[in-house]
Structures are given as C-alpha cells and as structure tokens.
Structure 1
Amino acid sequence: LIIPISLSELHQYKNFSILINPTNHLYTNREYRYDHFRPDLYIVVCKLDTYNGTTSGTKLSFVERAPGILSTIATFLSIIALAITLITFALFSSLRNLPGCNTINLIIALMIAEILFLSQSLIIMTTPSVCLLFALGIHFFYLASFFWMNVMAYDLWKTFHKGFSLYVYEIRERLPSYALYAWGMPVIIVLIGIILDAKNTRLKPCYGRFFRGCYDVCFRTKNDTPLQGCWIESALMRFVLFGCPVAIILVINFILYALTVRSIRRGLRKVRVQVERKFQRKKQVVPGEHDVKIYMRMAVLAGFGWTIGFILFLLPDNQKGFKRFLVASVKYLFILLNATPGLFIFAVYVCNRRVFSLYRQLLTQIYQFFQSNFAEFKEFILNHSRLCVSKTKNKIGNFNKIKHQQKQEDMQMKISATSTVVKSAEPSNKTTLTRLLSEQSGRSSPTNSTYHTLNLSSLEKQ
C-alpha cells in the first residue's frame, strides 16, 4: 500500500510539506513519513493517494466539497453570534445571575471549540505538534460545552425538585463546584487519551498522529479517504472518548429536565399564589420558568443533532438512488444542527424583549451623557482648535522671519562681493591710463602735455 520516494526527487518546504518533482504532486506533512529502514534516503507515501486524497485520481467535485463549505460558513456565523451574546452578558450585570454565569461558561467553551475547529479546517499544512494542540483543544472544549449543559440541567433540577424556590442561592455557593465539575471532567477524559497515546497501547486515540504508532499514511475512514484535520484519528476511540460521554450527558439531561418539568407542574398553582403574594401583583412570572423552556429547547437541539450524528455514523456509505439522497440529507441536517448552536443561543438570550429593553436603556444613557456634556465638549474643541491655530500662525511667522533674514544676509554678501571686485580693478585701470598719457606726451607739444597732465590730475580727483 505504500511506495518509497527518494529524497533527491522532492523539495521540502518550511511547513514540512513536500513537492515531488517528477509528478509535481504536493503532499502535506500528514500524508507522508520517513522510511523506517532508510530515513536518510527515502520517504513513503500511500499508493492509493493519487490526487487530492482520493483513489479515483480525479479532483473532488463541488457536491463532494459542499458539506465542508457549508460547515465552515455555519461555524463562522455561530462564532460571531456567540461573541455578540458574550458581549451582551458582559455589558449588563442583571443578566449575570447563577443561570447567566452557567451560560457564560457554556458560551466560552463552545466559542473556543468552534474557533479551533474552524482554524484547523482552514489550515491544511500543520506541524505535528501544532496538530496535537488543535486536537486536544477541540476535544477538551467540546466536552466542556456538553458538561456545562449538564450543569445547567442539574441546576434547574436542584432548584425545583423539592418544589419551587425563588433563586435564593448565590453564585459563590454553587458556581465553584459547577466549574470544578464542568472543566475538570474534560481534563480527566483528555488525560486518559494522552496516556493511551503515550503508552502506545493497542487502543489509542492518536491525537493528530503525533505519538508513536500513529504514523500510518494509508489510514483511511470508511469512505476510503484519508481523515483530514487535527482530531482523534481512531474511529473507535473517537466514539469511546467523545461519543459515549456526550451520549451519557444527553440522556442524563433529558431525565433531569423531565423531573424538573414534573416538579414545576405539581407545584405550579401553589407557587403562583406565593409569588403573587410576594410581589403583590397578578400574572407574575415564576422565577425559573423561562430558564426551563430555554434549557429544554437547547437540550432538544443538541440531543437531536448528536442523535442524527450517531445514526449517520452507523449508516453504510456508497448508497445509490433514494438511499444516497437520504444519507446526504441526514448529513446536511447534522452539519446545520451542530455547526449553528451559537445562532440558537444568540436568538434565545439576545433576541428577546428584556435584552432589547436593556440595550435601549444603555443607548439612552449614552445619548444623555453626550447631550449633557456636549457644551463642555464643544468648548473644549473650540479652545483646542484656537490653540492649534495660534501655534500654527506663530510657526508660520517665525518661518517667514527666518526666511527674510536669510534673504537680507544673502543680499549683503552679494553687495560685499561686488564692491571687493570693483576695488581690486581700480589700480590696474589707473596704471594703464597713466602709461597711455605718458606715451602721448612724448609726441605732443608742451602745451598739450600740460593739458593732458591737468586732465590726468582731474581724473585722479574724480
């Protein structure tokens, strides 16, 4: 199943991908390995890996790539929705009660998991150590999100299993123990997987193919294609370390929600009377009723989505006709339900009258703040503008003054240079004139010589 390729026939890039020169084929660092016997001379690749990870030698069509594209878009929208929801909880302290803090932890775990999942799906070329971190992070944070859902179901049952309570429990009484459970259990499960990989046992998850014994370049899924992305490579251990905990949590959540609903129905009339007396008004919403509805919808959504995932895992591939259409429909439904939990959380916790009212109050306070401080702000802007204008005028005046002084100095230098040239030329002119007059005096009469002498003296005076 593998073929050796000489190191002299390839070019290796900084990201550890290689280009085979004769065939011009590019392999990622997850699609080849060095030969066990002659690592200094050869690498080995899977013989079936003819083009782009398929055995047919043809490029994947749009229909085959559509689920990945849809999953990427849905995950990106889910991350944005979760970020907006987290900002909403951070802005309004009235939302940060115990159920709100549980929801915040759920949002953080789910958002980080989706960011890591989206990043590793977009980054094709990754080093083994980076791929290991992606695989561990995705496994941990997705598990944490399900354990926080379990905490939310337990918190509701704890509140209502002995009749109604009016949420007298404070955050510091329950939240530390909830956090220890919801963040600690994923750590234990991930550590078990790391130990199995490090010990190189027969059953190991192979996180990102980093550990020894996980370098099978011909490792295939049931579709006969190489498993892409940084995740748990072993399908069996993926089911044991991720599928089983998720399935157990979903079953427990349904049981807790069923018990909670039963408790609510039994004591509803009695509690409504107590609540109406306590708040002294009719039609008062019983604390916790809204949370029960929200958590039930979330549990149904998550449970239905992962139930479809388990069914999809058991369905055979390469179906034809109507069965192929049915498998494709189930696959797209699974992608939409599990890639968009952030949109559901956003719709439930942000798109409601209470949050809209809080945002309206916040915007009103911001407007009133700017309106009350507008005069002072305007005066500050005017003073600052005047100061800037005066500084600019002073700089321009100083610049013009310096420029004028430079011009005057240049003119003085030119005048002094001209006068120096004239003075140096005067003695030579006098000497020439005297010599000419003396020559003429020798030829002319005395009268003329006297006349010329007088003219010379007059010229000298001039």
Structure 2
Amino acid sequence: MDTIYTGRVHGFTNLSRAGLEPALTEESILSLMVVLGSSISLVALVFAFITYSLFSDLRNLSGTTLMNLLAALFMTQLLYVVGVGGVSDSELCISLAFALQYARLSIFFWMMLMAHNMYNQFRTGLQLAPVVDNDITKHFIRYSLFGWGLPLLLLFVSVLIQYEEKGGKLLDTMSLKKQNCWFLDPNAFIYGLISPSFVIIIITFNYLIRSTFLSIYIISFQTDIRTKEKMNNKRTLQILLFVKITTVITVVMILSTFAKFFNESDTFRVAYHVSQGTQGLLVALLVTCNCRVLKLYTKSLKKRANKHVDSAASYFSKSTSLQLLTWKSPETV
C-alpha cells in the first residue's frame, strides 16, 4: 500500500517497490529530492519560529507579524507534503485543496502586513504619522483579524465558485486528483487565489518602495556620520530582507500558476515542485541568518559566558575568604 512517501509526485515516477524494479530514474530521484526538501523546510520553519519566540528583542509587532508568516508557510508546506502521494478519498481531496488555498492566501496577507508595519515604523520615525497607541496587543489583534480573517472570506468565495463550477457537486474531484489535490478548478483558482494574490503583491511592493524613499529621506537629516551609517545599514538590511522574502513567495506563486495551467509541461511542473519544496527553507534562512539575529545569538552567548565567569569568580572569592577565615597562623618555635 502506497504512502505519501512511497507514492508518486504528479508527473514523476512511482516510488513503490514495483516502480523500483527496473532502476532509479532521474524523475524518481527528483521526486525524492522534493519530499526531502519539503521535510527540511518544515524543520527550518520550526527553528525560525522558535528563534523569534526565544529572544525578547524580536517579540515586537514586526517580529510577531513575521512569526505569523512563518506559521502560514509551515501550514502550506505540511499540506503540500500530505498531497505528494496523491489522495484517493474525495472528501479529503477537496478539504486539502481548500486548506491549501487558505494557507497560500494567508501567506500573502501576512507578507503585506509585514511591509505595512515597516512603512508605518518609518513614518512614525519621521513624525509623519503620530503615535496614537503604543499597545502592541491591539495592533496585533487588528493584524490577526486582517491576516487570518480576510483569507477566510476569500476562501468562502472560492467555495461558492467551486460549487457553481461543479454544478453543485463539490465531491466531484477527478480534476483535482490529477494534480494531487493541490489546486482548485480554474475559476476558483483564478478568482479566489491568483487575482487577490497579485493585487496584494503589488500593494506589498508599493509599501517597500515607499519605505525605501522614506528611509533615504530620514537618513539625509542625520548630521553625525556614524549615526547615518548605522541607520543606513540597519534600514537597508531590513528592506532587503522583506524584498527577498516577497520575491521568493512571488516566484513560487508564479510557478504554481504555470504548473496549474500548463500541466503537460514538465519544465513548469518540475520547477514548481522544487520551488515549493524549498520555499520554507529559503525563507527560514533569510529570517534567521541575517545580521540582527546573529548579533542576538552572539550577545546571548556572551551573556552566558560572562555568567559562567562571574559564578566561577564568586566561587573562588568565597572559597578564598573562607580559607582566610579558617587559616591558622603557624605556631612560634
């Protein structure tokens, strides 16, 4: 009996025992790489999420927004792996397709919120927007309603479109099973995912471009050279990080669109599987291997080392003082 690991990636050779009898082909090796890449991506996303949970300096509104983006990416990677071997049950197939569409939409909404938060920070720093409320909890609740709630509304629209397209038969999943239940039918896929996603991508890049100009404008007001260099480095790293994350997610969405509508093309299909399998790993590396996080790691290690040195010094000082208290002077001859 095939499992999700011994099944076949759509368009690739079956990795069951019968499929291994002739010899391992390039396609079967590629399918193994896809499953392996997805598994590594899941582990990397968990590591990145834990990293941002451990350091208090990263648990601000920006860091919390990024953690929700990582959670949405984790859901997408996990659901993608579930469908690798194909899904035979119709109810599970349609549930998987809807769940994947919701997770993909959530990624784009949290990506936009991440860029919006950075833009607001720059405006506040320039005093273009007054800080009305500093309560992170209230802002996070609003972001959560937007980042998780609006994708739910769009998913409801996708359900209605899918229902109409199937003539009231949602469990008619023959077309979905051909692509491992990763995508809904064309109309639900276009109007429920592709159209809103590309609108959000445009808005996100708009925030990134405006943040760049704001950053340049803010830095130009600084008179001290060292302060100007520090601000320039910090703002540049932050903007470049968000641009890289947005680019990776956008490329995966474009490749998934080509894989959906050009299903007969092996190039688009293979490119999508590889990009989707490594998407989580790339984003996790981007958010954990930047200068700010590495500085926090080194700072934490230095604190631990200093604690050990201080505890050792206090131990020896205490033992020395005790020796001095109990030390007996030598008897005179």
TM-score (normalised: structure 2): 0.71
CA distance in 1, matches of 2:283, 2:58: 14
- CA deviation digits over 1:79-120, x for unaligned, max 9? 111111111111111111121111011011111221122123
Label 1:212 to 1:305 Cα distance change in 2 as closer, same or farther (>3 A).
Answer: closer
> 1:97 corresponds to which letter in structure 2?
N
Long gaps (5+) in structure 2: 4-12, 15-21, 316-333
Does the residue aligned with 1:121 lie in a helix, a strand or coil? coil
Label 1:115 to 1:192 Cα distance change in 2 as closer, same or farther (>3 A).
Answer: same
Shift of residue 348 of structure 1? 2.4
1:145 maps onto 2:92 in alignment: no
Among 223, 242, 246, which residue is 1:295 paired with?
242
Label 1:195 to 1:164 Cα distance change in 2 as closer, same or farther (>3 A).
Answer: same
Does the residue aligned with 1:263 lie in a helix, a strand or coil? helix
Shift of residue 183 of structure 1? 0.5
* Preserved CA contact (<8 Å) 2:52 2:59: yes
State the match for 1:180 in structure 2: 145
How many residues of Structure 1 are paired with residues of Structure 2 in the alignment? Answer: 292
Among 175, 184, 198, which residue is 1:247 paired with?
198
CA RMSD of aligned residues (A): 3.9
Query: Which residues of 2 match residues 211-222 of structure 1 at below 5 A?
Result: 212=169, 214-215=171-172, 217=174, 219=175
1:156 maps onto 2:103 in alignment: no
> 2:178 corresponds to which letter in structure 1?
L
Long gaps (5+) in structure 1: 1-12, 16-50, 53-58, 221-225, 319-326, 377-462
State the match for 1:230 in structure 2: 181
* Preserved CA contact (<8 Å) 1:153 1:257: yes
CA distance in 1, matches of 2:263, 2:76: 29
CA distance in 1, matches of 2:89, 2:261: 32
* Preserved CA contact (<8 Å) 1:92 1:358: yes
CA distance in 1, matches of 2:123, 2:241: 18
RCO (CA 8 Å, sep 6+): is it higher in 1 or 2? 2
Structure with greater proportional helix content: 2
* Preserved CA contact (<8 Å) 1:98 1:171: yes
Query: Which residues of 2 match residues 364-375 of structure 1 at below 5 A?
Result: 372=311
Label 1:306 to 1:216 Cα distance change in 2 as closer, same or farther (>3 A).
Answer: closer
1:85 maps onto 2:48 in alignment: yes
Among 285, 290, 304, which residue is 1:347 paired with?
285
Label 1:336 to 1:177 Cα distance change in 2 as closer, same or farther (>3 A).
Answer: same
Query: Which residues of 2 match residues 377-456 of structure 1 at below 5 A?
Result: none
* Preserved CA contact (<8 Å) 2:79 2:96: yes
Shift of residue 170 of structure 1? 4.6
State the match for 2:326 in structure 1: none
Q: Which runs of 4+ in 1 moved over 6 A?
A: 367-371
Structure with greater proportional strand content: 1
Query: Which residues of 2 match residues 239-388 of structure 1 at below 5 A?
Result: 239-270=190-221, 272-273=222-223, 276=224, 283-285=229-231, 288-311=235-258, 313=260, 315=262, 317=264, 328=267, 330-363=268-301, 372=311
Label 1:262 to 1:70 Cα distance change in 2 as closer, same or farther (>3 A).
Answer: same
State the match for 2:330 in structure 1: none
CA distance in 2, matches of 1:246, 1:176: 22
Shift of residue 361 of structure 1? 4.3
Shift of residue 174 of structure 1? 2.3
Shift of residue 315 of structure 1? 5.0
- CA deviation digits over 1:439-460, x for unaligned, max 9? xxxxxxxxxxxxxxxxxxxxxx
* Preserved CA contact (<8 Å) 1:102 1:148: yes
TM-score (normalised: structure 1): 0.53
Pair member with larger Rg? 1
CA distance in 1, matches of 2:205, 2:102: 23
* Preserved CA contact (<8 Å) 1:144 1:183: yes
CA distance in 1, matches of 2:303, 2:217: 43
Label 1:188 to 1:86 Cα distance change in 2 as closer, same or farther (>3 A).
Answer: same
CA distance in 2, matches of 1:261, 1:304: 22
> 2:122 corresponds to which letter in structure 1?
F
Identity %: 20
Label 1:71 to 1:246 Cα distance change in 2 as closer, same or farther (>3 A).
Answer: farther
CA distance in 1, matches of 2:260, 2:88: 27
* Preserved CA contact (<8 Å) 1:112 1:141: yes
State the match for 2:8 in structure 1: none
* Higher deviation after alignment, 341-350 or 153-162: 153-162
CA distance in 2, matches of 1:307, 1:215: 27
Shift of residue 196 of structure 1? 4.4
- CA deviation digits over 1:297-340, x for unaligned, max 9? 2122222333344455555846xxxxxxxx62x54444333332
